[in-house]
Amino acid sequence: GAVVSQHPSWVICKSGTSVKIECRSLDFQATTMFWYRQFPKQSLMLMATSNEGSKATYEQGVEKDKFLINHASLTLSTLTVTSAHPEDSSFYICSARPDRGTIGYTFGSGTRLTVV
Amino acid sequence: GENVEQHPSTLSVQEGDSAVIKCTYSDSASNYFPWYKQELGKGPQLIIDIRSNVGEKKDQRIAVTLNKTAKHFSLHITETQPEDSAVYFCAASISGNQFYFGTGTSLTVIP
């Protein structure tokens, strides 16, 4: 089945630094990937839609200059949290749907970001 | 846009009993309804889904029902086991183009 690999699974960084999170579709191509943010005991909040070869589409209220998304290939999307602050600490999850086949989405395992 | 509501937010059942989680949606154009299970510190895992042309779907101990007229769908877990304990999310989508998630249900199965 479709597998999405997300890396790293957990990262701790200092305030002011940037962190890059990778989302890879291992056995399928995905023109579109999604990035979510999840606070403790809350639902997934869509941050942006990542489109291969074009600019990402950000949801209202999400700062595109702070959360940089790059979707350079059909199997890789990256989310970079720039100049991270403690309030950026959260669980970030990506998802992808195969360009062909099922309409269901597969989620990555998530990245827990802690900014100290 | 679509609004998905999910109830209850927490649910505790005795091992072996059944658990039911209900969701409602607002957009009649939604035609795909997946359910995800999320364990602590992990990403959501698809456990079952249903499309609008089907009223019910079953996979072993898990079943999902859909009432298009009333715009609600439910997850049924029978013979619950401790490993079923997790947070469950419903979602609604129009042909998989964008997913709207419910607020989640924390299920605890008591041994």
Please compute the mean of the pLDDT values over residues B51-66 and round it to a whole number.
94
What is the structure's pLDDT at A40?
84
Q: Which residue of A has its CA nearest to B34?
A: A104
Residue with tokens 């079923």: B84
A110:B41 CB<8 A: yes
Q: What is the pLDDT of residues A40-90, one digit of tens each?
A: 888 888 899 998 888 999 999 999 999 999 998 999 999 999 999 999 999
Q: What is the DSSP-derived secondary structure letter of residue A86?
A: G
Q: What is the pLDDT of residues B2-15, one digit of tens each?
A: 889 999 999 999 99
Please compute the mean of the pLDDT values over residues B81-85 and round it to a whole number.
97
Number of A:B CB contacts under 8 A? 49
B42:A97 CB<8 A: no
* Cβ–Cβ contact B2 with A under 8 A: no
Among residues B111, B98, B109, B105, which one has the least CA distance to residue B30? B98
Chain A residues lying within 8 Å of B43, measured CB to CB: 4, 6, 93, 95, 107-110
Distance, in Å, from the CA atom of B93 to the CA atom of B73, rounded to the nearest integer, reads 13
CB half-sphere exposure, B4, CA atoms < 13 A: 28
